[in-house]
């Protein structure tokens, strides 16, 4: 505040909060264009695999549901026949 009142600041203003940062450029922690390209390919492959697994699971659910519906319809019709005859 004193510096501002004495008009010691130019148009640029910098704040210092006392934070300390350590720069690390370890081989596993940095990214090159080749590493990014490789990672993006892995991500795309993973997405493709995941989507195909979802499609497969959806098809299996449809088959299982159809079988369950048929089995339940047979049980219901059997019960209805027993009630009518019983």
Domain membership of residue 42 as a residue range = 33-86
Is residue 77 domain-resident? yes
Strands of 1-86, DSSP E: none
Mean pLDDT of 10-20: 73
> Is 71 within the bounds of a domain?
yes
Domains in the chain, number: 1
C-alpha–C-alpha distance, residues 78 and 86, integer Å: 12
C-alpha separations of 44 from 27, 33, 39, 50 in Å = 23, 16, 9, 10
Query: Is 48 a member of any domain?
Result: yes
1 lies in some domain: no
The predicted pLDDT at position 86 comes to 62
22 in a structural domain: no
Which tokens belong to 61? 């659910």
The answer to whether position 10 is within a domain reads no
pLDDT in tens, 17-35: 788 877 777 877 788 899 9
């Amino acid at each position: 505040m004193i510096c501002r009142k004495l008009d010691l600041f130019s148009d640029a203003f910098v704040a210092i909060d006392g934070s300390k940062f350590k720069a690390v450029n370890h081989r596993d922690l940095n990214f090159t264009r080749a590493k990014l390209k490789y990672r993006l390919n892995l991500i795309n492959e993973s997405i493709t695999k995941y989507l195909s697994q979802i499609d497969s699971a959806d098809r299996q659910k449809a088959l299982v549901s159809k079988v369950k519906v048929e089995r339940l319809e047979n049980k219901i019709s059997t019960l209805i026949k027993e009630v009518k005859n019983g």
